[in-house]
């Protein structure tokens, strides 16, 4: 009996391997022009990846061994990994490669197919609908929200000055409060309320999505449903959706009940939710579910990214006193004698050096270190075919450390952005590039400037002793898994 079962198992395995080879044969032939990472039948290169904490190291190792562009294989999936300038310029600017790679399906349970995860005509319609929400005349009204939440942040930091603190824990709650106010028009008071279930769920899901993407036995939906993590994820998603729906419903009521007078929003920031509630697609309003998808998408994409960038910038400023002094001089010039006054939109526009600091931070520590696309039709690149349904991973983290474009690439040197002439616009792509770039980049830049300016004026930033060493990991967003520790000391002028 045992022998029969064993034979059956072997037969099934052989069948699956043959089936995979048969289905992928044509694609593999068409992709012979690429360097292919040697792997095993069926499972391909899954063993090249050693879990979420090691993904960046694994990618670095693969690029060092196989060059800037290579093909890797997973069951029924072919993916091109690239940090090559020409190839990525082609991919990101192509109107034919706009769909998202297979990995994004891990976000679907939470985000549905909102702007980040949708493809084809749905994405085009949504992008057109949402783009006006990021017009500068709308964005400048959010400066007040950056300011009030920044004041809470500074108060929180005052209570821990002189101690070694994991700055990321403070910053990420600040950016979460801001995105809640901006996207939904409600405050979750993440900075004030400890142990908020909503905050816990958002944090849990951000981590879970990447863990799943890099754990081979959790990738197939069928196997994932057998694991306890599936139920944890389902529960967290349900709680988040319930919260988002309750906010949507109460906002609908408020808008219905408000008199014209109360509805007068002149000068006030209008949350993205209100715009969604007032929008129509093909002559009909968006459904509750469609609105929820977008609100949840903004919550996901809009807080951790900026939180990571601000935290890394503070870490770099703490360990580069010359850069910090330069940035502070600029603040003094802008704020003159009233150094602690609230910053205005115009002030933020004037912070040119701080902008270089942020860009240099995003070059070294891009919040989204890699992202994915997929071909939905055969595409020709330099005479070679990329067949339909091929995933492409854009490794921004590696490209932005290429010495060809950034001499002495590991050096933190914001001035390189003062002299960059735009000859190679695709060598700096923290917000992606082309038609599917980050819709929130101007919002993010204002928010990051506002936070850094406020903290710089309130505190002197110092490294810990001994200086904390980052251990980078990508949980969809770049983090340091041992924290981002610095010290802050009240600044006196």
Cβ contact 184:273 at 8 Å: yes
Instruction: Quote the tokens at residue 153.
Output: 């942040």
| Residue closer to ligand HEM, measured from CB, 90 or 298 | 298
Q: Is the peptide bond before 212 cis (omega within 30 degrees of 0)?
A: no
Pick from 346, 311, 353: which is nearest to 472 by CA?
Answer: 311
| Residue closer to ligand HEM, measured from CB, 295 or 334 | 295
Q: Which residues in 312-458 belong to E strands, given as ranges? A: 371-374, 379-381, 384-386, 391-394
Establish if 393 lies at the interface with ligand HEM (CB under 6 A): no
Which DSSP helix (H) or strand (E) runs through 460? strand 459-462
| Residue closer to ligand HEM, measured from CB, 165 or 362 | 362
The size of the interface with ligand HEM (CB under 6 A), counted in residues, is 22
In the DSSP assignment, the letter for residue 46 is: G
Q: Rounded distance, CA 163 to CA 145, Å?
A: 28
Q: Is the peptide bond before 466 cis (omega within 30 degrees of 0)?
A: yes
Distance of CA 485 to the CA centre of its chain: 21
Q: Rounded distance, CA 304 to CA 31, Å?
A: 36
Distance in angstroms between the alpha carbons of the first and the last residue of the chain: 84
The stretch among 212-220, 221-229, 414-422, 438-446 that binds ligand HEM (CB under 6 A) is: 438-446
Establish if 443 lies at the interface with ligand HEM (CB under 6 A): yes
CB of 441 to ligand HEM, least distance (A): 6
Alpha-helix residue ranges (DSSP H) falling in 103-220:
108-111, 120-130, 136-139, 143-158, 167-184, 197-213
| Residue closer to ligand HEM, measured from CB, 31 or 98 | 98
CB of 275 to ligand HEM, least distance (A): 12
Give the chain's length.
493
Establish if 149 lies at the interface with ligand HEM (CB under 6 A): no
| Residue closer to ligand HEM, measured from CB, 323 or 433 | 433
Binding mask 121-140 for ligand HEM (x = CB under 6 A): ------x-------------
| Residue closer to ligand HEM, measured from CB, 135 or 490 | 135
Binding mask 352-391 for ligand HEM (x = CB under 6 A): ---------------xx--x--------------------
CB of 129 to ligand HEM, least distance (A): 11
The stretch among 7-15, 399-407, 429-437, 467-475 that binds ligand HEM (CB under 6 A) is: 429-437
Q: Give the list of residues 6+ apart from residue 348 with CB closer than 8 angstroms, or none.
A: 143, 446, 449, 450, 453
Task: Name residue, tokens 């602690």.
Answer: 340
CB of 306 to ligand HEM, least distance (A): 4
β-strands 69-74, 35-36: how paired? parallel
Backbone angles phi, psi at 447, to 5 degrees: -65, -45
Q: Rounded distance, CA 165 to CA 158, Å?
A: 11
Q: Rounded distance, CA 124 to CA 116, Å?
A: 11
286-315 binders of ligand HEM (CB under 6 A): 297-298, 301-302, 305-306, 309
CB of 370 to ligand HEM, least distance (A): 9
| Residue closer to ligand HEM, measured from CB, 42 or 198 | 198
| Residue closer to ligand HEM, measured from CB, 24 or 476 | 476
Tell me which residue has its CB nearest to ligand HEM: 440
Q: Rounded distance, CA 405 to CA 385, Å?
A: 28
| Residue closer to ligand HEM, measured from CB, 186 or 385 | 186
Report the residue from 150, 271, 369, 440 that binds ligand HEM according to the rule CB under 6 A. 440
Which DSSP helix (H) or strand (E) runs through 93? helix 85-93
The stretch among 2-10, 194-202, 415-423, 426-434 that binds ligand HEM (CB under 6 A) is: 426-434
Establish if 81 lies at the interface with ligand HEM (CB under 6 A): no
7 is in an annotated binding site: no
Pick from 60, 34, 51: which is nearest to 400 by CA?
Answer: 60
Establish if 450 lies at the interface with ligand HEM (CB under 6 A): no
Binding mask 162-201 for ligand HEM (x = CB under 6 A): ----------------------------------------
Residues near ligand HEM (CB under 6 A) are 115-116, 127, 297-298, 301-302, 305-306, 309, 367-368, 371, 430-432, 436, 438-440, 443-444
Annotated binding site for heme: 438
Annotated binding site: 438
């Amino acid at each position: 009996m045992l022998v029969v079962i064993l034979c059956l198992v072997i037969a099934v395995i052989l069948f699956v391997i043959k089936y995979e080879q048969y289905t992928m044969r044509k694609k593999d032939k068409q992709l012979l022009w690429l360097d292919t990472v040697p792997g095993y039948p069926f499972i391909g290169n899954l063993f090249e990846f050693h879990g979420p904490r090691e993904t960046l190291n694994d990618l670095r190792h693969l690029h060092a061994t196989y060059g800037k562009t290579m093909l890797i294989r997973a069951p029924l999936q072919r993916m091109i990994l690239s940090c090559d300038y020409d190839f990525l310029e082609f991919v990101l600017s192509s109107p034919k490669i706009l769909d998202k790679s297979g990995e994004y399906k891990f976000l679907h349970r939470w985000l549905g197919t909102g702007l980040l995860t949708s493809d084809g005509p749905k994405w085009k319609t949504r992008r057109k609908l949402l783009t006006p929400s990021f017009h500068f005349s709308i964005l400048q009204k959010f400066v007040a929200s950056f300011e009030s939440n920044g004041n809470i942040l500074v108060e929180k930091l005052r209570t821990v000055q002189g101690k070694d603190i994991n700055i990321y824990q403070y910053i990420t709650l600040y950016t979460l409060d801001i995105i809640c106010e901006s996207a939904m028009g409600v405050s979750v008071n993440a900075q004030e309320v400890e142990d908020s279930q909503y905050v816990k769920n958002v944090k849990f899901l951000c981590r879970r999505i990447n863990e799943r993407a890099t754990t081979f036995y959790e990738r197939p939906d069928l196997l994932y449903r057998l694991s306890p993590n599936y139920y944890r994820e389902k529960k967290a998603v349900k709680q988040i959706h319930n919260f988002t729906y309750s906010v949507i419903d109460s906002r609908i009521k408020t808008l219905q009940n408000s008199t014209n007078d109360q509805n007068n929003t002149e000068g006030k920031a209008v949350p993205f939710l209100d715009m969604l509630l007032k929008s129509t697609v093909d002559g009909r309003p968006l459904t509750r579910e469609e609105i929820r998808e977008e609100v949840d998408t903004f919550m996901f994409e809009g807080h951790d990214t900026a939180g990571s960038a601000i935290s890394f910038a503070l870490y770099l400023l703490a360990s580069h006193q010359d850069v910090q002094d330069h940035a502070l001089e600029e603040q003094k010039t802008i704020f003159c004698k009233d150094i602690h006054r609230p910053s205005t939109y115009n002030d933020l526009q004037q912070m040119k050096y701080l902008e270089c600091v942020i860009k240099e931070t995003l070059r070294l520590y891009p919040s989204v270190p890699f992202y994915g696309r997929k071909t939905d039709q055969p595409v020709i690149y330099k005479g070679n075919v990329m067949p339909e349904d091929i995933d492409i991973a854009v490794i921004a983290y590696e490209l932005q450390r290429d010495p060809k474009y950034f001499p002495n690439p590991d050096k933190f040197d914001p001035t390189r952005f003062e002299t960059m002439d735009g000859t190679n616009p695709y060598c700096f792509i923290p917000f992606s590039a082309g038609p599917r770039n980050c819709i929130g980049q101007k919002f993010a830049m204002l928010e990051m400037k506002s936070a850094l300016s406020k903290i710089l004026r309130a505190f002197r930033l110092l490294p810990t002793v001994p200086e904390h060493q980052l251990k980078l990991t990508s949980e969809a967003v770049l983090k340091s898994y041992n924290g981002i520790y610095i010290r802050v000391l009240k600044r006196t002028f």
